[in-house]
Structure formats: structure tokens, C-alpha cells
Amino acid sequence: MNVLEVKNLKIWDANSGHVIVHNSSFQLKQGSCLAIIGESGSGKSVTCRSFMRLNRACLRQTGDILFKGEKLNHLSEKEMRKKRGRNLCMILQNGMSAFDPSCVIGVHLKETLAEHFGLRKNEIERKMIQAMESVKLKNPTEMMNKYPHQLSGGMLQRIMIALAFALEPDIIIADEPTTALDTISQFEVVEQFIQLRNRMGCSIIFVSHDLGVVKKIADEVLVMKNGEIVERGSTQTIFSEAKHDYTKYLVSTRLALSDNFNKIMGRS
């Protein structure tokens, strides 16, 4: 069963007319992890933000995005807000940008859970503490009283993953979630994503430059270049039997840059 279907998605800049994504179509299966790879500017992040309807106002799009058969692009903004977080949860590259710098972390977490579940304050706090402990964050109560700038990038990423644990969404969209982290933190965060998927049975769209990470976490891979999908297939096929020259180039160059990650995981 497909939990998400994208049909003929086209995204362009209304000011310049520049087309960023050209008629993309693909599916996300229930419980699977789909990786989207490609160099900067290939249209990966814009594609992902289109599912959430979070692209800049100047960007226009056509085509259909169906979540469990429902066309997200036909929903009102009020209806879409109910989907964000509860059904579709996005984890960003930079944890610092995901939180209001003027509030302690706990305010953001409690407001998000209150919005989607209508829980009481003590229930929210208990649910969030359990989720934070499950991603190996120590002293969660103390951490919720800290401002974003007082926490490391790895901690902020884990807090976003903990929030996903608490929300239990159908789909997690992870846009370059390990790029800003050191190798040890990358390894730990990827392990948390794997745990999240195993525990909840959710589907994941994982955008990354790091093919070592992709090889570990993804079932299927889409390769984007200049806003077009140039190749798709199982992870094994993409890494061992790529047909498109661009895919072959990405695999050969990016995997070479992933040696440190492979070593930390105990791979040769």
C-alpha cells in the first residue's frame, strides 16, 4: 500500500518563471524508507516542502500529492495545519531553525502536542519525557527548560526525533538531518531514525548527501538532477547496478566521502 503518491509535481518560481521541479511522479510505500539524493539545487528540499505546503510564497506548484488517497494540495490551510506534525512530520537540517530562539524548548514541545492531542499539561510533560528518554536524552525536564542556543546540534536533532516519537506520525520527512552534525552524532541520529521506524512502523522520506547513511537506512532511492528524477530503484540496485551516468558519478564520489561514517559503524 502507498501511503503517499506524488503525481506530475511541477514547481516553479512565479517571479522568474524558472522551473525547479519538472513533472515528478513517485510513491512512498507504507512502512518503507525512500531516500532522495542529488547535489545541491537538484530540487530535493523543495519537493519535500511541497508535501507540507511550506515552500516560499513565490513558488507555485501543479500536480497532485495524495496522502492515503486524500489530495493534500486541495486542503485549506486550516485543514493542512492539522496534518502537519500529526500525520506528516518534518525534521530539518538545522535543529536551531526549528525552534523559537526566544522560548525554552519545552514551550515548543508542549504547544505542538497540545495542538494535536488536546492533552493536559501534566500528560504532555509525561509523554515528552518518555519520548526524550527513548532517544537517550538525559535529564529531559532540565533540557526542556533550556533555550535552543544552549543545546548542541545533535541534541536538538534528537529532540525533534523525540517529538516525532510523541506525535507518532504516518510519515517522517527528514531533510538533510545529519549534515550539520559530527560523525559520532550522525551515527547516533541515524540509529534513532531506525529505532523510530521499527517502533512506530512509520514511513520515512530521507533526503541526504551522505550515501553511507542512505545505504544504511533506505529501502528505495530516487536520484534527482536539475529538478528531474533521473533514476529510481531499490537501494541495492542503485548502489551496485546504477544505469544513469549521474547516479554512477554520485555513488562513486559520495561513497568515497562516507568512509568515516562507514568506519564508525564498523564497516570495511
Q: How far apart are CA 152 and CA 135, in angstroms?
A: 15
Residue 187's pLDDT is 80
| Domain 1-87+171-182+191-268, CATH among 3.40.50.300, 3.40.50.2000, 2.40.37.10, 3.90.120.10 | 3.40.50.300
Nearest to 34 by CA among 173, 128, 131: 173
The confidence score (pLDDT) of residue 42 equals: 92
Per-residue pLDDT of the chain (268 residues; tens, 9 = 90+): 899 999 999 999 999 999 999 999 999 999 999 999 998 889 999 999 999 999 999 999 999 999 999 999 899 999 998 899 889 999 877 777 788 889 999 998 888 888 888 777 888 888 889 888 877 888 999 999 999 999 987 788 888 888 888 888 999 999 888 776 777 777 877 888 888 888 888 999 999 888 888 988 999 999 999 999 999 999 999 999 999 999 999 888 766 655 655 566 565 5
Q: Where in the chain is the domain with CATH 3.40.50.300?
A: 1-87+171-182+191-268
